[in-house]
Structure 1
Amino acid sequence: MAAVETKKTTSAPVSLFSSAIAGGVEAIATYPLEYAKTRVQLQTVPGCRHNPFAVILNVARNDGIGAIYTGCSTLVLGTAFKVSVRFFSFNYFRSRLADDTGALTPLRGILAGSLAGLTESVVAVTPTERLKTLLIDNARIQMKLYRGEPHTYEAIIRAQSIRGLYHGLVPTILKQSSTQGVKMGSYNVIREFSRRHDLPQNGITAFVTGALAGTVTVYMTQPFDTIKTWAQSARGAGTIEAFRSVVQQTGLRGLWSGSTSRVGRLAFSSSILYTVYEKVATAMSGSLENELFVFTSIPSARC
């Protein structure tokens, strides 16, 4: 009689705590690249139009190292929160889409990731990205409109109410849904490939797999990220207006502005995120069998 082994999944408390730690570590480690990507997309550093590393050097030389971390605290807290929402919601949607063994097909993995991205966009990403983008855009002008995160938050609420924090919600949903769908789907596929070829399932494998998934994700979803940045900047463009402005001012290539920086950040951040998550989850639950990601496998018949 055939029997199929049902795989375990990570408990909710372990998932929430592990993902929050992973999100905070990832945000701190990769923030300079996020800062450079945003400045490149907003075209605010003369002579550094497509070079994120030149942006970092230019800003550090003119404004000091601390300027590269403008808006960082908002992103760290927001990232810890949004990653917790992402992994928890992914876990939820996965449980609804998985087969009897607890495994996901690649397409269902992409769907679960997309739904998780939509959830985190509404709950966590849009408000924190709005604050971060305004602060980075504010850093380029002499007459500062905002004085740190609390003042930015107060100014938005006072002028636009809670709706001001959700400026750019549509492109953020498009970006996060596509990003998480592609990233989690490709991570599942690559990790399953490594398992089928008997590669060691350790921190190095998780790091490399995360980097590959992050690289694939950037080039498939970058236009959504660029439009989101323009929509959430001080220019306050709507989604359609932001798209038209990018194309008119920079051409279709402008939709991929900041790709180099985002590749560096997302590949590195994905590697950190999945590696730290799996290490913390393993330490708390005692076994990699309890990791978040349960992959598609071909059940074997056992008599």
Structure 2
Amino acid sequence: MAPNQKEKPLHSLFAGATAGAIEAFVTYPTEFVKTRSQFGGKKEGPITIIRETLRTKGIAGLYSGCTALVVGNSLKAGVRFVSYDHFKQLLADREGKVSPARSLLAGLGAGMTEAILAVTPSETIKTKLIDDAKRPNPQYRGLIHGTMSIVRQEGIAGIYRGLFPVMMRQGANSAVRFTTYSTLKQFVQGSTRPGQPLPSAITFGIGGIAGLVTVYTTMPLDVIKTRMQSLDARANYRNSFHCAYRIFTEEGLLKFWAGTTPRLTRLVLSGGIVFTVYEQIIKVIGGASES
């Protein structure tokens, strides 16, 4: 998207939702490994988690909780792009351009919106399903049964556990990712291809770099989010700040970057896949609607 280009909300919703669903399914094993490595207890490396899961659960084990994330990620990406475009248009100057600072603000607003409408419920359910799957006798039989059980046991609040850290993480995620992506895209287009669309390979690369920057700046919020959504959260943590305090005092500062490698793998791929698929779908829909 060019900085001054206005996408139709339905186009953004459809393109974003499709890109989100594809990205979630392709990269889910890295999300599974990342989430498992962030729980408390015995420390396990990514290779150990993969080997043990394949041995005990098979390839399907690496996709525990996948449906929840695919559905949630589809909705999340749709909401993200629609709300980002909306906030971006509100913050644009008279020429339709958006400065990096305003792009950061638009991304923050988009992240907060998606956290409330889509991310928190899907992330909570996904995290509980992964946490439950590693136990000797899992209590949840799948997405629908797990969701119904959580709501029955804890009420609607049960699927909104960890809302605050999710809002903080998604706000930071979108702010950093969109700002990095938009800034790099404007720079590349301005210096090499003024007024022309970028090839998919370059879009993928820029999206990947945006994912890389996002991971390292927002990792502590992701760890706190995972802990607050685990099955034992209510017994161990009073709130997000208490959770952060316990992690820091009992496990050390580096624990806030637990799961960085699999999350890095996922978000670099995610950034490339989502922005590339989104741009291509927008291009096709835009061309079809004009013909």
Where do 5+ consecutive residues of structure 2 fail to align?
none
- How much has 1:286 moved relative to structure 2? 2.0
The answer to whether the aligner puts 1:164 opposite 2:158 as a matched pair is yes
**Deviation readout 1:121-158 (Å, 9 max, x if unpaired):** 01110000000000000011112222211122112211
Q: Which amino acid aligns with 2:275?
A: Y
Report if the CA contact (8 A) 2:212-2:267 is conserved: yes
Structure richer in helix, relative to its length:
2
Match of 1:206 in 2: 203
Q: TM-score, normalised by structure 1?
A: 0.88
Match of 1:123 in 2: 117
Q: Which amino acid aligns with 1:10?
A: E
Which range is displaced more, 154-163 or 168-177? 154-163
- How much has 1:284 moved relative to structure 2? 0.9
**Deviation readout 1:51-82 (Å, 9 max, x if unpaired):** 32442233112220000000101110111111
Q: Distance in 2 between matches of 1:153 and 1:219?
A: 31
Aligned pair count? 280
Match of 2:230 among 225, 228, 233: 233
Match of 1:268 in 2: 269
Match of 2:102 among 89, 98, 108: 108
Match of 2:139 in 1: 145
Q: Distance in 2 between matches of 1:114 and 1:23?
A: 18
Report if the CA contact (8 A) 2:4-2:98 is conserved: no
User: CA distance change for structure 1 residues 101 and 260 in 2, over 3 Å: closer, same or farther?
Assistant: same
Match of 2:15 among 15, 18, 21: 18
Report if the CA contact (8 A) 2:30-2:262 is conserved: yes
Matched residues, percent identical? 38
Q: Distance in 1 between matches of 2:250 and 2:134?
A: 19
Where do 5+ consecutive residues of structure 1 fail to align?
1-5, 288-303
Match of 2:255 in 1: 254
If asked which structure has higher relative contact order (CA below 8 Å, sep 6+), I would say: 1
Q: TM-score, normalised by structure 2?
A: 0.92
Match of 2:87 in 1: 93
**Deviation readout 1:158-185 (Å, 9 max, x if unpaired):** 1221111111000000100001100101
Q: Distance in 2 between matches of 1:248 and 1:228?
A: 17
Q: Which amino acid aligns with 1:270?
A: G
Q: Distance in 2 between matches of 1:78 and 1:93?
A: 22
**Deviation readout 1:89-113 (Å, 9 max, x if unpaired):** 1111111101112211001001100
Q: Which amino acid aligns with 1:212?
A: I
